[in-house]
Amino acid sequence: MHAGWQNGSLFTLAIVLTILFVVLAKAMMKPLRTSVDLQAFRAENSLFESHPRLGFRPKSRAKVMEHVGSTDVVVRTDDRGARISVKGTAHSPHRRILGVGCSQTWGFGVQNEDTFLAKVGSALDLAVDNFAVSGFGGTGAFLQVEEHLMLQPEVVIYGLWEDHINRNVTQCLEDASPVCVERPYLAVEEDQTFHMRMPSSNVENLDLLRRYYLETSEHTDQYRSFASDVRWVAYDLWAKGKILISKLSTRQMSHTQKIQGMQYILKNMNRAVESYGGQLVVVWIPLYFSTEIHAPPDEFVVLSQQEGFLLVDMSGPFQDMIEQGRPIALPTDGHMNPDAHAEIAKAITKLLEERLSLIAAS
C-alpha cells in the first residue's frame, strides 16, 4: 500500500514537471502573441462594462476610438448605452425603432450613420435606439428587448447573424483569447424544454481580457515580461483543458436542437414586442465568407408566418453582391461594409413602408 502511494505520488510529480516544462518551453520559444488594435483594450478607451443580467454591454456616455484598417471610427453612446452619432444626442420621445443583435447590427467598423439601423430610421423618420452588443446571440438580444420595451418602440429590428444559431447555446464569447467572458445562453433540459441561463459577473473577466491583449500584443513589449508570457501560456493550457472536459462531460446540442432554440427565442421575442403593440422585424444576415450563401431555415420562415413577425431575407441580395463582384465585408475586417448595410436598410425600408402604410390605411 505504501509502495502504491509512493508510485502515485511519483506519477503525479512527473505529470506536474512535464506540464511545467511544456509551459516554460512554449513561453520561451513560442509565446502567445496577438495583433489586435491595442486602443480597444486601454482602460481609458474601453467600451464595455460588466452587467449583472446581460454579462456585459457598452458603457453609457462612452466615447472610444476604433481603428479598423486605415479607418478611424468614433463610437459614442448615450446615457443608456445605445449607440449615437453625435455626443449629447437625446433620445427622441416620438416614434422609434429599437435595434438589437450583435456587432453586425451595432455596425462595428463603420460610422453610426452608415449602419442599417440609422439608415432605416432616417428613411422612415423614426428615432433609433441601437442596443446591439458585439458578441451577443439571440439570447442576449431577447434580454435587451425585454429591458428596453418600456420605450414603446413602434418597430423592433433584430439582426439575426447566421452564427447566432450557435452562439445561443455557447456560454463564452467567441474570442481569440483564453478568457471566458460570459453571456446569456440557452440550455436544454432532459424534458427538451429550453431555459435561459444568466452569466456570472464579468468584472474580473473583462479586466483579465484587457490585460491579456495588452500583455500579448506583438506591437509593443511595454506591458509584457517573461513572467506574463509564462502566465498566459499556462492560462491558455488550463482553459483548453477546461473546454475539453466540458465537451466530454456535457451533452452537446444537435443542429436540430439549435434551430429549435432559435425558434424558442424568436417566438418569445415576438410575443414580448406584440405585448407593447410593436412590430418585430427579423433580418436574416447570412454568413458571406464563401460563395455559398444560406437562406434562412424553413422553420424560421414558417414561424414568421405563424407568429406574424416580418422576416427580411438577405441571402438573395448578398448573393447578388457576390456575383456582381461587390465586397460585403470591410477590407481588413470580416464585418459588413457600408454597402452591405445600405442593402439591408433598403430591404427593411421597403418592407416597413408597405407595412406602415397598410397600418395607417386601416
Rounded Cα distance, 54 and 183, in Å = 6
- Give the structural domain span for 311: 79-200+254-361
The CATH number of residue 263's host domain is 3.40.50.1110
Whole-model pTM? 0.90
DSSP string for residues in 239-278 = HHHHHHHHHHHSPPPPHHHHHHHHHHHHHHHHHHHHHTT-
Task: Tell me if 319 sits within 8 A of 293, measured CB to CB.
Answer: yes
Ramachandran region, residue 199 (left: φ > 0; alpha: ψ -120 to 50; beta: rest):
beta
Q: Cα–Cα–Cα angle for 56, 62, 65, nearest 5°?
A: 100
DSSP at 334: S
Task: Tell me if 279 sits within 8 A of 250, measured CB to CB.
Answer: no
| Cell, residue 108 | 462595428
Ramachandran region, residue 125 (left: φ > 0; alpha: ψ -120 to 50; beta: rest):
left
Let me know how long the chain is.
362
Q: Which one has a higher pLDDT value, 52 or 3?
A: 52
The predicted model gives 327-340 an average pLDDT of: 94
120, part of any domain? yes
Q: Which one has a higher pLDDT value, 170 or 362?
A: 170
261, part of any domain? yes
Strand partners, 84: 76
Within 30-161, where are the H helices?
A: 103-106, 116-124, 138-148
Task: Tell me if 347 sits within 8 A of 317, measured CB to CB.
Answer: yes
306, part of any domain? yes
Q: Cα–Cα–Cα angle for 277, 282, 285, nearest 5°?
A: 165
DSSP at 341: H
pLDDT in tens, 143-160: 999 999 999 999 999 999
Task: Tell me if 162 sits within 8 A of 285, measured CB to CB.
Answer: yes
Rounded Cα distance, 362 and 360, in Å = 6
Rounded Cα distance, 76 and 113, in Å = 12
The predicted model gives 26-40 an average pLDDT of: 82
Q: Which one has a higher pLDDT value, 176 or 329?
A: 329
Domain count along the chain: 1
| Cell, residue 226 | 517573461
pLDDT in tens, 116-140: 999 999 999 999 999 999 999 999 9
Question: In this structure, are strands 155-161 and 185-188 parallel, antiparallel, or unpaired?
Answer: unpaired
Rounded Cα distance, 199 and 79, in Å = 23
Rounded Cα distance, 362 and 357, in Å = 9
297, part of any domain? yes
pLDDT in tens, 165-189: 999 999 999 888 999 999 999 998 8
pLDDT in tens, 54-107: 999 999 999 888 877 778 888 999 999 999 986 545 545 567 999 999 999 999
pLDDT in tens, 254-276: 999 999 999 999 999 999 999 99
325, part of any domain? yes
136, part of any domain? yes
**Would you state the pLDDT for residue 25?**
82
**Would you state the pLDDT for residue 45?**
60
3-state secondary structure of 43: helix
35, part of any domain? no
| Cell, residue 237 | 493550457
How far, CA to CA in Å, does 149 sit from each of 49, 247, 273? 22, 36, 7
Please state which of the ranges 26-30, 147-151, 164-168, 317-321 shows the lowest mean pLDDT. 26-30
- CA 159 to chain centroid: 11
Element (H, E) at 281: strand 279-285
31, part of any domain? no
For residue 199, with 0-12 CB atoms within 10 Å meaning exposed, 13-18 middle and 19 or more buried, which class applies?
buried
Residue 283 sits at φ, ψ, to 5 deg, of -100, 115
The predicted model gives 205-228 an average pLDDT of: 91
